[in-house]
């Protein structure tokens, strides 16, 4: 089941005139998109664990990085196989988000 939500709405004014452009982005919450969002959420966790004064922090960082790599591959694979490609996934998939 696909859910859609409005993520961003920006208004760009052109030199004070009344004409404007509205940019909207729709995110469809499906399995590949959720994996991408999980990978984005792992970034702060990786940063915090990296700076922890813990003897096993390097191993924990490696496991978090490995999980991010697996989800990167998996969400691209699932999006292509299940025909669930979205502009959000294309943007963050190409940047390793």
Per-residue pLDDT tens digits for 9-55: 444 444 444 444 444 456 678 888 888 889 989 999 999 999 999 99
pLDDT for the residue 92: 75
Residue 88, number of CB atoms within 10 A of its CB: 19
pLDDT for the residue 80: 87
DSSP 85: -
Q: In this structure, what is the dihedral angle of CA atoms 30, 31, 37, 38, given to the nearest 10 degrees?
A: 150
Strand partners, 21: 12
Residue 4 has pLDDT above 90, yes or no: no
* Inside any domain, residue 88: yes
DSSP helix/strand/coil, 16: coil
* Inside any domain, residue 18: no
* Inside any domain, residue 90: yes
User: Do residues 89 and 38 touch, judged by C-beta distance below 8 A?
Assistant: no
Domain of 41?
A: 30-94
pLDDT for the residue 19: 45
* Inside any domain, residue 46: yes
* Inside any domain, residue 2: no
Strand partners, 27: 5
* Inside any domain, residue 69: yes
* Inside any domain, residue 52: yes
The total number of structural domains that make up the chain: 1
* Inside any domain, residue 38: yes
pLDDT for the residue 13: 45
Rg, the chain, Cα only:
18
């Amino acid at each position: 089941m696909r859910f859609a939500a409005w993520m961003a709405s920006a208004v760009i004014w052109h030199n004070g005139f009344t004409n404007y452009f509205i940019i909207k982005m729709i995110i469809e919450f499906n399995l590949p998109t959720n994996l991408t969002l999980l990978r984005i959420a792992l970034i702060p966790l990786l940063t915090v664990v990296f700076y922890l004064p813990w003897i096993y922090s390097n191993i924990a960082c490696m496991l978090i990085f490995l999980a991010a790599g697996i989800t990167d591959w998996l969400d691209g694979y699932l999006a292509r196989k299940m025909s669930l490609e979205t502009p959000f996934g294309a943007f963050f998939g190409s940047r390793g988000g």
